[in-house]
Structure 1
Amino acid sequence: MSKRRPIHWVRDAVLAAVGAAALVLILSRGPTQAPEGPSITAVSWGGSYGRAYRDGIQVPFAEETGINVGMEDYNGGLAQIRAQVDVGSVYWDVVDLEMADAMRGCDEGLLEPIDIDRLPPAPDGTPAREDFYPEMQGECGAGMLFYSTVYAYNADLFPDEKPTTMADFFDLEKFPGRRGMRRVPQVNLEFALIGDGVPLEEVYATLDTTEGLDRAFDKLDSIKDEVIWWEAGAQPPQMLADGEVGMSTAYNGRIFNAQVLEDQPFVIVWDGQLLDYGQLGIVAGTPRLEDALRFVSFATSAQSLAEIASRISYGPARRSGEPLVTTHLATGVEMAPHLPTSPQNLARALRNDLAWWVDNQDELNERFSAWLTRRAR
Structure 2
Amino acid sequence: MKSSLRSTLACAVLAAVTGAAQAQPQNLTVISFGGATKAAQEQAYFKPFDASGAGNVVAGEYNGEMAKVKAMVDVGKPTWDVVEVESPELLRGCDEGLFERIDPAAIGNPADFVPGTLSECGVATYVWSMVMAYNSAKLAKAPASWADFWNVKDYPGKRGLRKGAKYTLEVALLADGVKQEDLYKVLSTPAGVSRAFAKLDQLKPYIQWWEAGAQPPQWLAAGDVVMSAAYNGRIAAAQKEGVKLAIVWPGSLYDPEYWAVVKGTPNKALAEKFIAFASQPQTQKVFSENIPYGPVHKGTMDLLPADVQAALPTAPANLKDARAVDAAFWVDHGEELELRFNTWAAH
What's the TM-score once normalised by structure 2's chain length?
A: 0.91
Q: Which aligned pairs between 1:102-181 and structure 2 lie closer than 5 A?
A: 102-120=90-108, 128-158=109-139, 160-181=140-161
Distance in 2 (CA, whole Å) between partners of 1:343 and 1:60 is: 30
Match of 2:271 in 1: 292
Distance in 1 (CA, whole Å) between partners of 2:180 and 2:54 is: 48
Q: Work out which of the residue numbers 75, 87, 91 in structure 1 matches 2:75.
A: 87
Match of 1:240 in 2: 220
Match of 2:317 in 1: 344
What CA deviation, in whole Å up to 9, does each residue of 1:175-221 have, x standing for no partner? 11111111111111110000110111111000011110000011111
Shift of residue 45 of structure 1?
Answer: 1.2
Distance in 2 (CA, whole Å) between partners of 1:108 and 1:324 is: 38
Match of 2:51 in 1: 63
What CA deviation, in whole Å up to 9, does each residue of 1:101-131 have, x standing for no partner? 11111010000011212113xxxxxxx2111
Match of 1:223 in 2: 203
Match of 2:191 in 1: 211
Distance in 2 (CA, whole Å) between partners of 1:164 and 1:109 is: 42
Distance in 2 (CA, whole Å) between partners of 1:294 and 1:242 is: 42
Distance in 1 (CA, whole Å) between partners of 2:278 and 2:67 is: 24
Larger CA Rg, structure 1 vs 2: 2
Equivalent AA in structure 2 for residue 216 of structure 1: A
What CA deviation, in whole Å up to 9, does each residue of 1:16-68 have, x standing for no partner? xxxxxxxxxxxxxxxxxxxx641011011111111000111000001102511
- Asked whether the equivalents of residues 132 and 143 of structure 1 are also in contact (C-alpha less than 8 Å), the reply is no
Match of 1:362 in 2: 335
Match of 1:53 in 2: 41
Matched residues, number: 324
In structure 2, runs of 5+ residues without a counterpart are 1-23
What CA deviation, in whole Å up to 9, does each residue of 1:285-325 have, x standing for no partner? 01111111111111112222121111100111121111122
Distance in 2 (CA, whole Å) between partners of 1:348 and 1:276 is: 14
Distance in 2 (CA, whole Å) between partners of 1:225 and 1:89 is: 45
SS of equivalent to 1:317: coil
- Asked whether the equivalents of residues 103 and 138 of structure 1 are also in contact (C-alpha less than 8 Å), the reply is no
SS of equivalent to 2:28: strand
- Asked whether the equivalents of residues 172 and 199 of structure 2 are also in contact (C-alpha less than 8 Å), the reply is yes
Equivalent AA in structure 2 for residue 47 of structure 1: G
Equivalent AA in structure 2 for residue 73 of structure 1: E
Tell me if 1:275 matches 2:254: yes
What CA deviation, in whole Å up to 9, does each residue of 1:207-264 have, x standing for no partner? 011110000011111111111111111111111111111111110011011112x111
Tell me if 1:307 matches 2:286: yes
Distance in 1 (CA, whole Å) between partners of 2:182 and 2:70 is: 34
Q: Which aligned pairs between 1:325-340 and structure 2 lie closer than 5 A?
A: 325-326=304-305, 334-340=307-313
In structure 1, runs of 5+ residues without a counterpart are 1-35, 121-127, 328-333
Runs of 4+ in 1 over 4 A off after TM superposition: none
Distance in 2 (CA, whole Å) between partners of 1:193 and 1:50 is: 32
What's the TM-score once normalised by structure 1's chain length?
A: 0.84
- Asked whether the equivalents of residues 150 and 268 of structure 1 are also in contact (C-alpha less than 8 Å), the reply is yes
What CA deviation, in whole Å up to 9, does each residue of 1:306-345 have, x standing for no partner? 2111110011112111112226xxxxxx212211111111
Distance in 2 (CA, whole Å) between partners of 1:86 and 1:138 is: 23
- Asked whether the equivalents of residues 77 and 101 of structure 1 are also in contact (C-alpha less than 8 Å), the reply is no
- Asked whether the equivalents of residues 301 and 309 of structure 2 are also in contact (C-alpha less than 8 Å), the reply is no
- Asked whether the equivalents of residues 135 and 226 of structure 2 are also in contact (C-alpha less than 8 Å), the reply is yes
What CA deviation, in whole Å up to 9, does each residue of 1:42-101 have, x standing for no partner? 011111111000111000001102511111111114121111111222011111111111
SS of equivalent to 2:29: strand
Distance in 1 (CA, whole Å) between partners of 2:95 and 2:66 is: 12
Match of 1:188 in 2: 168
